[in-house]
Structure 1
Amino acid sequence: MIKQIEEIRRRKSKYNQKLNEAATANELKKFNIESQKSLGYFFPDDYLMTLKMINGLEYNGSILYGIDESLLEVESNQRITGAIHTNLEWYELEENCSYIFLGEDELSWYVLDKRDGTYRMMSKPSADYLEEYSAFSNFLDKLLEESLL
């Protein structure tokens, strides 16, 4: 994961672009309070640990959701697709309420299945399972690898 993030950072620096900084402890606290209030749950710890390294990422069609911009203390370096806002949008369809949406690319969603704790890559058009991951790190590696293609 760190290797892929550093490669994205290197590629973006060629165009004088920067990745988002790490989320602060206070931003994470506000994010947790707001997610509990708005969604009724907290985001997974491994995901929150990633936000401590990089608060959201958009690169080459791949998106890792971050802390919603309204909860940030400092303006981000690049646009952040807010995790709370995005999950609320997907939950307008009842069948999506079983998942915590953490990211996406052009063809897939990257989710945590709340029913069994499995991380999944799902097809956007059909919501069919494409791949399963038992650990968040493997799941995030897949999203980052897709962005580097």
Structure 2
Amino acid sequence: MIEKLINEIAKIEAKYDEILPAPATLEELEILKNWATDLFGNDVPIEVYSQFLNNVNSLQHNGIFLYGVNTQNANLDIIENNKIWHDMTEHKKYLFFGDDDISWYVWDSVVNEFQLLDKPSGEIMETFESCNSMIIEALEKVLD
């Protein structure tokens, strides 16, 4: 399903002579895994996000930013964005996967849950059964 949605976005981007990033390399995925494990321990569900990165190493479309690894654009780099969001102590429990104008897509390491957070308040707007369901909803949102 994720691949199908990414392909739909790629077709839209192609109309404007834009190309989506290539998939993350094995080296980039290893960098991400090591970084996330150092930050959150062995239980971090970074492998499930790697499924998205195996299709495209970040995505920016219609106001959404889904982060990648070692991207040319710092606004799309998962490590750089997490450093910024972790400046606030209450955000250190989250692994940030992406954001849009009003929300963050995160994994809460304390409750082991994928969530959509309201940016201004940090309140939980929605929870997801998996990383894939979170990514699918984000992609469907920008295609509406």
Note whether the superposition's TM-score is higher than 0.5: yes
Q: Is the 8 A contact 1:32 1:43 kept in 2?
A: no
Which residue does 1:23 correspond to in 2? Answer: 24
Alignment partners' CA distance in 2, 1:34 and 1:86: 13
Number of equivalent positions: 141
Report the AA paired with residue 136 of structure 1. C
Root mean square deviation of aligned Cα: 1.9
Amino acid at match of 1:138: S
Which residue identity is paired with 2:30? Answer: K
Q: With structure 2 as the length reference, what TM-score do the two structures score?
A: 0.88
Contact between 2:40 and 2:109, CA under 8 Å: does it hold in 1? no
For residues 133 and 46 of structure 2, the distance between their equivalents in structure 1, rounded to whole angstroms, comes to 14
Structure 2 counterpart of 1:58, from 54, 57, 60: 60
Q: Map 1:1-149 to 2 at 5 A.
A: 1-36=2-37, 39=39, 41=41, 44-69=46-71, 81-149=76-144
What is the distance in 1 between the residues matched to 2:33 and 2:47? 11
Displacement of 1:43 in angstroms is 5.7
SS of match in other structure, 1:120 = strand
- Indicate the percent of aligned positions where both proteins have the same amino acid: 29
TM-score, length of structure 1 as denominator length: 0.85
Point out where structure 2 has 5 or more consecutive residues left out of the alignment.
Answer: none
* Shift in Å, 1:48: 1.4
Shift of 1:136: 1.0
Unaligned regions of 5+ residues in structure 1, if any? 70-75
Tell me if structure 2 keeps the 8 A contact 1:58–1:80. no
